[in-house]
Amino acid sequence: MKKEFRRICADRMRIRIQGDDGEAIKLLMKKLEERGAFDGLGNSTDPDGNIRTATILVSGGRGIGSKEFIPTLRELASLLGGTFSSSRANVAAGWADRSRQVGQTGKYVTPKIYIACGISGMDQHLAGMIQSEYIIAINKSSTAPIFRVADFGIVGDVKVIIPGLIKAIEETIGKEIKR
């Protein structure tokens, strides 16, 4: 209960991104570094690894628009040493395998960092990922329920933000992280 209260009241930061606002992405990176979010980066070099044991999850929802964007999410997961996961909507659409699904009808996960890309954050999904240490939400809708539990929220288009985030991570952390 205390963890949820902290997320809702004290520790949430909303960053608004307009277009490809690189400064907002760099601010997000700085705040995550300050909080030690990247200490001992992910335990996987396989973006298709086990989502239950992953330290970092990059999860895609209906808001990614199409299955063609999933390789970009996998690229981000790989860069971070994390694993790709998905919402139920993408599994139902055939964009992701059922073994990738987070939520009540999928798997419960507890990564250090959970990056929700285009996920609205309905209760079914939140139940499966609420115990994540850091929740980063990226969604076009500023009223998406995912922002209620997010430590960091970015309001904007995932198709602009994720490539910008990949670039910022490469610049911030360096190329020593192997893809």
Domain assignments of the chain as residue spans, ordered by start: 2-34+49-173
Q: What is the pTM of this model?
A: 0.82
Which CATH topology does 2-34+49-173 take? Rossmann fold (3.40.50)
| Residues 69/159, Cβ–Cβ less than 8 Å | yes
135 vs 163: CA distance, rounded Å:
19
Per residue of the chain (179 residues), give pLDDT as tens: 334 433 443 445 555 554 555 666 767 777 767 766 666 555 555 667 899 999 899 999 999 999 999 999 999 998 888 899 999 999 999 999 999 999 999 999 999 889 999 999 999 999 999 999 889 899 988 889 998 888 888 888 899 889 988 887 777 665 444 44
**β-pair type (152-155, 56-60):** unpaired
Q: What is the pLDDT of residue 34?
A: 74
